[in-house]
Structure 1
Amino acid sequence: MKIGEKVPAICLNDESGKQFCLQKFMGKEALVIYFYPKDFTPGCTKEACNFRDSYEGFQNLGAEVIGISSDSEASHSKFKERYKLPYILLADPKKKARNAFDVKSSLLGLLPGRETFVFDKSGILIHKFHSRDSSIHMPKALKILKNISA
């Protein structure tokens, strides 16, 4: 995906098995979509909890947070429950979203990539970044949203 493109028209199942379409928020809220490799791994747990701990800040800026990995709905449900994650987790086992967002694998293609996308209220991509360092995704996304709402 390139800056200026719209949220892809993709529907995936959430952690409860219900179909969820990304375009649901277009025209209503800004959107932070983060792709992570795997539920319950140390880096991914840290990243998920960072977004959890700052979720109210995202909400106050009029933004929703969505996490996506190739884990199953059942795994997402357990992950969300164990760490009390207040936002949506989407299952992408067929890599439909990863392909639409052009999320690259890391570590010579061995690990699914870790990327974050920030969309404005109208569903336009305003910022994207990738890093294996799970600790920088939440603060960077929050800073971008603060800058556009200032």
Structure 2
Amino acid sequence: MSDLKEGQAAPDFTATDQNGNTISLNQFKGKKVVLYFYPKDDTPGCTAEACDFRDNYQGLIAQGIVVLGVSVDDEKSHQKFATKHSLPFTLIADTDKKIVEAYGVWGEKNMYGKKYMGTNRKTFLIDEEGNISHIINKVDTKNSTAQVLELLK
């Protein structure tokens, strides 16, 4: 499990999005990137977070910010989630768990006393040079955009 810190280079990756397109982090050099990790498509917290980014998307774009969501769900699940909630940004399918492991968000979770492995919710802000400028460990799913914008002031 990786323990990334602010100021470090963000690990590059190549994966597919909800439309089957190949996406790599390198293609966004020169732009600010919100790389947010979430546990599962179409669950209450993940939907609240995605819809908050959707509702504030035009403001983010106006500031030159790219939004990328990552979970271990597959392309088909991402496409259904994006369509159902009119998500205008890219959802990355990390089915082989390479990205969640590189960013240190894959780990043990506990629900109702049952332990299991899963994606921990975390957001990385990546600067124009590809370095991690901020890490949000305690994501407020209903106000995730406000958390991001507060750090970028």
TM-score, normalisation: structure 1: 0.89
Task: List gaps (5 residues or longer) in structure 2.
Answer: none
1:124 to 131, 134, 146: 131
Contact 2:106–2:118 (Cα < 8 Å) also in 1: no
Determine the C-alpha separation between the residues in 2 that align with 1:12 and 1:111. 19
Determine the C-alpha separation between the residues in 1 that align with 2:150 and 2:59. 10
Count of residue correspondences: 145
Determine the C-alpha separation between the residues in 1 that align with 2:32 and 2:87. 19
User: Secondary structure, in 3 states, of the residue corresponding to 2:149?
Assistant: helix
Contact 1:8–1:23 (Cα < 8 Å) also in 2: no
User: Secondary structure, in 3 states, of the residue corresponding to 1:12?
Assistant: strand
2:90 to 78, 88, 91: 88
Give 2:6's aligned amino acid.
I
Contact 1:113–1:132 (Cα < 8 Å) also in 2: no
Determine the C-alpha separation between the residues in 1 that align with 2:141 and 2:106. 15
Q: Would the alpha carbon gap of residues 110 and 134 (structure 1) be closer, same or farther in structure 2, given more than 3 Å must change?
A: farther
Contact 2:9–2:130 (Cα < 8 Å) also in 1: yes
Matches within 5 A, 1:67-146: 67-105=69-107, 106-107=109-110, 108-131=115-138, 133-145=140-152
The answer to which structure has the higher strand fraction is 2
Contact 2:71–2:93 (Cα < 8 Å) also in 1: yes
* 1:109 Cα offset (Å): 4.6
Determine the C-alpha separation between the residues in 1 that align with 2:86 and 2:57. 11
Cα displacement string for residues 5-26 of structure 1 (whole angstroms, at most 9, x for unaligned residues): 1221210110011211011111
Determine the C-alpha separation between the residues in 2 that align with 1:130 and 1:79. 24
RMSD, aligned CA: 1.5
1:53 corresponds to which residue?
A: 55
Give 1:131's aligned amino acid.
K
